[in-house]
Structure 1
């Protein structure tokens, strides 16, 4: 009778397989520390840009004088966890904007990087919770990228933190000693974009316009979305058809982003970046294309960064880089001198907190416990969320479900993976709004645009929206799921007009209008108008309808 192989023999055979598998997985999860540094700078710059853009409508969207006063927010949304909802005064909200800007700047330069990342993430979630009606996919993606960044050594390179660590000889951030880091967190930040594209691809398969190649042509004739080059592209339907198929092909090729490594991965990532830059040049969809571009930075691995550094050395800017590094070192030294926290005492030696006494032993034990806890936090928590985002993505396309406890966790941190941008069907109509107001001394005025009343299609619909967030907000107000917000909007229009004009408005009627155009022959195939609400400006604030 043949004897079964011993446990030791089985282990010896499996060991090389496990090692090869581990190496392969690590190679695909690895993110270069220079990529993380560029990613950090990008996140900080995005946060500052986002705050500046939102500040243009600060009073309208985030105060009690705006379209969603806190009494309406608390009444309509069961749980609101937002610092921005503690006060409805413009000065208080502006102060939080300023704080968030300072923290975002600290993140960009890499000062107290992990703390700045966590605080920036929390402040962003707070801001987003203050008015869910103005959110888009870019907001969700930015928050998720910040979440993963909190578990990554973003400050290991090109940062004030790294300069301070070099100057003081302090302990390096865990995972930042080599050229790259391969952890559950690095896996998560890479999978985040893959999950977004793969989920969106499956949603797009449900729409006939995407599979027939007509989707982009319809999007480009939706004048409230397009601007710049987007206003010229409808003249080239064959090009738009090719762009539709190219985008679908890229979406379904997205799994290769984590299968490939090195230069091939960078080449595929560059194609995605090019597509998103094309979106930025043709469609006004706020910061979503730029957020996506920043999200691709970690996909450029060590060979790409090495080649970039060799190129810099060859063409001579290395002196400039050295001067900037010296300036950064000077800034790091200045910040270190201003830092009120005392330097951490070393564990060795015979100082008051070190040495061989009981206090020294207690401190060593506490330090070991904190280190172990930090390791568990930085590995176990990202591993859980990697599993949760994969489950959430599968559930959103009908291939499973997330456990109830997992759903609660994802809802708490706003990481549900529902990516239905332009899916299953793209935008097919041009939409605009009008709000004729009856003035107290007779006559009418469109109080939304402060213009003469006209329900006809404007020459350029895009310019009728002050910002992309206003377009998103008005689109949500027009939805049948948000009827209560129509009275909030009308009440705001009344109050804002009467605050800024000598002649008061007595009554406002809000209309949503649309026109559908055949993208191939330019003929109008459908047009209509809907009266969303007629509102008495002299009446009491209407909470719900």
Structure 2
């Protein structure tokens, strides 16, 4: 008879299986510190670019003189809390923009990195909450990437913080500095022996897995939504998008003439969406190839569709997918072919600036090291150690589970418990990724706002021009920015009827502020035209009156 296995043998085999499984998970969640550094620089740069782009419509979108004054915001979004809603004055909002820009710059250069990441995330949430009508998928993704960045050692490489750690002479000063920074993970100190050392180990934590999964669930859920659309499965979706002139620009204005190419692009994009699990299942160069295909598609979006920063945000989100072999190969290529002298000069200048900042930190006044202060420092250190496990493991595990459940729920394959829903709503991490799904945009839409002036004449007060209901030669040019297009599209939605009067009220006030002859009434129309992407014939055209507004009356807030 076969001899039964001993308990020790079973335990040994089970341990071996667990070790292999753990190693497999670690290999697939590993992120190179150089990737995290590039990711950090990308996030900081994106935040600055986002602020600059939003500032073009600062008064219109974020003040009491704009399309959503605070009395309307508080009435329609009663659960909204926003630092940007404390004042409706342009100077106050501009000041918050400036503060957010300074913090984003600190994030980009890696100064007090964890604190800068957390503050940037909070300020971004406050800014987004101030006017939900102008938000898009890129805004949601940027906030989620920042959230995961809080739990990652983004300042371990290529950062002022790395230089500060390398320059610190007193280990006690290091501990105090770490505590002030929000405590870098053990991985940060272990993987950053010097600001530019080439042999840092990859970081495999729950948070690194979380940031990778965040990108993955976006594509998987979007792919499932697209399954429900006939145009995506039939290969016609991209052709329809390219004939929607209010979205397209640059190459997008010309590529509609190549329907065979657009059909191929549709199938390639759908195939990539369903191949997206390879982003996690594969490693090394194989993962880099899959990630590069996605990056290429997003760069294609960036030069064909005006969808604000979303394509660039997605590209930055793919940086952590490039693992150590890729970064090592890139380093060898730079050493062999790159501008070594210029790079060395840049690195020397950056390290010199970092040491100067470190010396300023060191020269800052500090309390006299009394017994009481020593006891307080010991208490802070002990509290930090106790909180390290909660911060680095428990919280990321909790949110990894929530984003997976939320993604499953969004496509009808699961449910998030009510407490989890409340948490996700609080931190704006609900996973709803229905970009161009289940069906893509199929109509070209534009807006006209005829206003009757005091002298009896009529002007388009939205565009400050003659009134014409005809399709403009370039519809995209009729929108000041992509956020204006998003805002007007949301105003058209049946769920946002209140905002139609808010828009008309803003148009009245803005026209009367900037013109000698006041406007008395404004009527806002949305017009559309649907054309066949293959022969250019017009399939449908219509106009829809959104609101007729008396500019001389009181501010109207529909119930």
Alignment partner of 2:390 out of 358, 361, 376: 376
Determine if contact 1:164/1:329 at 8 Å carries over to the other structure: no
1:328 & 1:115 partners in 2: Cα distance? Answer: 21
Q: CA deviation at 1:13?
A: 1.3
Partner of 1:508: 522
Does 1:288 find its partner at 2:300?
A: no
Q: Name the SS for the 2:544 alignment partner.
A: strand
176-185 or 82-91, larger mean C-alpha shift: 176-185
Q: Name the SS for the 2:384 alignment partner.
A: helix
Does 1:137 find its partner at 2:137?
A: yes
Determine if contact 1:65/1:492 at 8 Å carries over to the other structure: yes
Taking the TM superposition and a 5 Å limit, the aligned residue runs for 1:494-533 are 494-533=508-547
Partner of 1:348: none
375-384 or 517-526, larger mean C-alpha shift: 375-384
Does 1:175 find its partner at 2:197?
A: no
Alignment partner of 1:260 out of 234, 258, 282: 282
Taking the TM superposition and a 5 Å limit, the aligned residue runs for 1:98-497 are 98-169=98-169, 170=174, 173=184, 174-176=186-188, 177-178=190-191, 179-339=201-361, 363-364=377-378, 366-497=380-511
TM-score (norm 1): 0.96
Give the 3 Å change call, closer, same or farther, for CA 327–541 of structure 1 in structure 2. Answer: same
1:361 & 1:78 partners in 2: Cα distance? Answer: 45
1:224 & 1:458 partners in 2: Cα distance? Answer: 10
RMSD: 1.8
Q: Name the SS for the 1:438 alignment partner.
A: strand
2:547 & 2:334 partners in 1: Cα distance? Answer: 61
**Cα-to-partner distance string for 1:349-374 (whole Å, 9 max, x where unaligned):** xx9568xxx98677546523321212
Q: Name the SS for the 2:158 alignment partner.
A: coil
Q: CA deviation at 1:327?
A: 1.1
Give the 3 Å change call, closer, same or farther, for CA 63–162 of structure 1 in structure 2. Answer: same
Task: Give ranges in structure 1 of 5+ residues lacking alignment.
Answer: 346-350
Partner of 2:181: none
Taking the TM superposition and a 5 Å limit, the aligned residue runs for 1:16-95 are 16-95=16-95
Determine if contact 1:163/1:328 at 8 Å carries over to the other structure: no
Give the 3 Å change call, closer, same or farther, for CA 461–393 of structure 1 in structure 2. Answer: same
Determine if contact 1:107/1:117 at 8 Å carries over to the other structure: yes
Q: CA deviation at 1:542?
A: 0.3
Determine if contact 1:353/1:363 at 8 Å carries over to the other structure: no
Q: CA deviation at 1:544?
A: 1.5
Q: CA deviation at 1:465?
A: 0.2
Q: CA deviation at 1:6?
A: 4.2
TM-score (norm 2): 0.93
1:186 & 1:432 partners in 2: Cα distance? Answer: 43
Give the 3 Å change call, closer, same or farther, for CA 363–495 of structure 1 in structure 2. Answer: closer
Give the 3 Å change call, closer, same or farther, for CA 214–263 of structure 1 in structure 2. Answer: same
Give the 3 Å change call, closer, same or farther, for CA 2–313 of structure 1 in structure 2. Answer: closer
Q: Name the SS for the 2:402 alignment partner.
A: helix
1:87 & 1:6 partners in 2: Cα distance? Answer: 72
Give the 3 Å change call, closer, same or farther, for CA 309–250 of structure 1 in structure 2. Answer: same
Number of aligned residue pairs: 537
Determine if contact 2:272/2:294 at 8 Å carries over to the other structure: yes
Give the 3 Å change call, closer, same or farther, for CA 247–535 of structure 1 in structure 2. Answer: same
Q: CA deviation at 1:316?
A: 4.7
